[in-house]
Structure 1
């Protein structure tokens, strides 16, 4: 899917509504093939973002797991380390 959409389930603290909406926006952008819709499509684009965000929030609210919640800072550091390795200059 899209690299900008991150896992939102099972984090402490839980995903915020802003994070859910950002993921929905990225999804709609990817599916529609447009990061900035035309004026003619803006209403449909915005409605889709809101619907996807609402569905995503319902999903997150209903998911259960026995796994302990992940720490956001630890996961962010792991991601930064992966990025450092991926983009490291070899020479």
Structure 2
């Protein structure tokens, strides 16, 4: 649905509140269709972002896994390689 929302679970160090808030904001923007809501919709959007933020934080706090935590730098390099392959940018620097 939203390619810009990143996986937040099972990383070391854990996701920050800023990362969780950014994902919540992106989700609400995508669902609502508003990147910048009107004054009439601003309160509803802000309330939705806060509710999604709380639900996401609760979810991340209750999930369990036996897998080793992922390394952010390694995952970023993998994503960069996937994007280079996807968009044909392998030989560019």
| Shorter-chain TM-score above 0.5 | yes
**Corresponding residue for residue 44 of structure 1:** 44
Residues 59-78 of structure 1: pairs in structure 2 closer than 5 A: 59-78=59-78
Residues 11-90 of structure 1: pairs in structure 2 closer than 5 A: 11-88=11-88
* Counterpart-to-counterpart distance in 1, 2:36 and 2:86: 29
For residues 28-79 of structure 1, what are the alpha-carbon distances to aligned partners after superposition, in whole Å with 9 as ceiling and x for unaligned? Answer: 0011011111110001101110110011001000000000000000000000
Q: What TM-score does the superposition give when structure 2 sets the normalisation length?
A: 0.93
* Counterpart-to-counterpart distance in 2, 1:34 and 1:45: 9
* Counterpart-to-counterpart distance in 2, 1:54 and 1:17: 10
Q: What TM-score does the superposition give when structure 1 sets the normalisation length?
A: 0.95
Instruction: State the 4+ residue runs in structure 1 displaced beyond 2 angstroms.
Output: none
- Give the number of equivalent residue pairs: 89
**Structure 2, unpaired ranges of 5+:** none
